[in-house]
């Protein structure tokens, strides 16, 4: 029975992944508002009721797509599992992630920016998700800057919380500028310049 249960769970995971992949493809082509649940289900070889069973609602599916984008980004983080990154490692990763986004994931970046703007007011599942994601990013950045001050690789007279908010604001803002005007804004170069400047400012 355990083997049968495992196979059923595996098929469920595979069906869920197929639905997320289908949603990413169709959202990128048609936008979230222009893509219905039925079209996503058909693309994934499933029924609309099966999709709702897995995700609860279209908003739930959109959240799963955003989580998948974050998962892919974390997979690209080439730091030993379980180890906390140094300042140099973290800054290098942000630059490499910008390079990857500019090369292959403009649609996901646009989806993220659009949905953030559409869910600024409290009261929706996605508003809560974006708020909590922002808090989590700032918390990780606070930890990064605090560790750097403790180990001597960064100045101790700078407020980690302010640095974290500044860095998060840069990341969100530069992506928006790039999405609006990619011919004038080089996402990777601007990231590299910002983090080089920040590293210089933090240096003891």
Same domain? 65 vs 80: no
CATH number assigned to the domain comprising residue 50: 1.10.10.60
CATH number assigned to the domain comprising residue 106: 1.10.357.10
Instruction: Enter the pTM of the model.
Output: 0.80
CB contact set of 8 (below 8 Å; sequence gap of 6+):
none
Same domain? 113 vs 40: no
- pLDDT given at position 80: 47
Q: Among the three residues 24, 43, 69, which one is the final residue of a domain in this structure? A: 69
SS3 content of the chain, % helix, strand, coil (to 5): 75, 0, 25
Same domain? 83 vs 184: yes
- pLDDT given at position 118: 84
Full domain range(s) for residue 36: 1-69
Q: Tell me: the pLDDT tens digits for 119-154?
A: 899 998 889 999 999 999 999 999 999 999 999 999
CA atoms within 13 A on the CB side of 146: 8
Print pLDDT tens along the chain (204 aa).
555 455 556 787 888 999 998 998 888 777 788 899 999 999 999 999 999 999 999 989 998 998 888 887 777 665 545 678 899 999 999 999 999 999 988 888 888 888 888 889 999 888 999 999 999 999 999 999 999 999 999 999 999 999 999 999 999 999 999 999 999 999 999 999 999 999 999 999
């Amino acid at each position: 029975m355990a083997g049968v249960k495992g196979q059923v769970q595996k098929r469920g995971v595979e069906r869920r992944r197929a639905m997320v992949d289908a949603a990413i493809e169709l959202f990128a082509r048609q936008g979230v508002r222009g893509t219905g649940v039925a079209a996503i289900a058909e693309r994934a070889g499933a029924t609309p009721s099966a999709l709702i069973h897995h995700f609860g609602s279209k908003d739930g599916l959109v959240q799963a797509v955003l989580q998948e984008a974050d998962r892919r980004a974390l997979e690209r983080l080439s730091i030993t599992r379980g180890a906390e990154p140094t300042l140099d490692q973290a800054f290098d990763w942000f630059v490499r992630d910008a390079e990857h986004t500019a090369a292959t994931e403009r649609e996901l970046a646009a989806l993220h920016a659009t949905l953030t703007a559409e869910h600024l007011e409290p009261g929706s599942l996605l508003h809560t998700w974006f708020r909590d994601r922002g808090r989590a990013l700032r918390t990780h950045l606070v930890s990064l800057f605090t560790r750097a001050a403790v180990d001597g690789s960064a100045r101790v007279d700078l407020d980690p919380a302010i640095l974290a908010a500044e860095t998060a604001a840069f990341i969100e803002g530069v992506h928006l500028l790039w999405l609006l005007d990619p011919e004038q804004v080089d996402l990777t170069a601007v990231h590299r310049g910002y983090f080089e400047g920040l590293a210089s400012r933090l240096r003891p």
